[in-house]
Amino acid sequence: MDCIINRRAQFSASHRYWLPELSETENFQQFGACARANGHGHNYVLYVSMAGQLDEYGMVLNLSDIKHDIKREVTSQLDFSFLNEVWEEFQKTLPTTENAARVIWNRLKPHLPLVQIQLFEHPDLWADYFGDGWEAHLTTRTHFSAAHRLAIPEASDEENYAIYGKCAHPHGHGHNYHVEVTVKGEIDRRTGMLVDLGQLMQLIDDRVAEPFDHTFLNEDIPYFKNVVPTNENFAIYIRDLLQDPIHELGAELHQVKLIESPGNTCTVTSQKSNV
């Protein structure tokens, strides 16, 4: 029986985005506030996923052994460290979230049957690495508030209530939406970035968060004049808004996850994605 098990760990560390071959002006143009001399810190959360067969004791691996391996190879070395200096890999390639996930994989792979490393820099930014060379996934999350009504324009109120229930109420209802945008690409061997994070976040803000925030989707967004703004249709629309602009940034959109409420989410993948 194949099982995937996960182990959570955490560490606190600081880092700085700075390339000595660039001038101060060029570094600040490239990395913004992350280039400041004293660096900045994060409370990192690490998820290590492993796969294997159950042994006679009903385990894939001994959890105590996993804990000690992760502590010995990763957290004891990184906790309360300055990442740029602690490992030689980070002197060659900057310790971005996506590159740190890759390096942690390489440090743990000789000891554990890894299938995925997921590293959270903070709750709204994380990277996933699957052991595929320099390719990684990077996810950023944002939020906005909007209202909608689920109703087919040409249908009667009775027909819409029969299909959508109370979501067809004529005055609509609102949600605090959260959207997670995952991109994939090759990590740059020097900057450690698979995409310029500042540009990605600005793109999502310009194309999604700001245009939809505090709107009534059916009335304020032309696309939804004739398309019912279900969570599914909304997720697809966000994907289509972002796919080409993200490609222009040098990455590929992997998926969009739209969280309408804690009990209702929708995930759509890029039409170009093979993952």
The residues annotated as belonging to the active site are 167, 214, 260
Q: At what angle do helices 231-248 and 197-204 cross, to 10 degrees?
A: 140
Question: Residue 3 in 3-state DSSP?
Answer: strand
The residues near 124 (Cβ < 8 Å, ≥ 6 apart) are 140, 141, 142
Asked if residue 145 lies in contact with residue 175, where contact means CB atoms within 8 angstroms, the answer is yes
| Per-residue tokens: 83 | 């990442």
Pair 26, 79: CB distance under 8 Å:
no
Terminal alpha carbon distance of the chain = 24
Residue type, 225: K
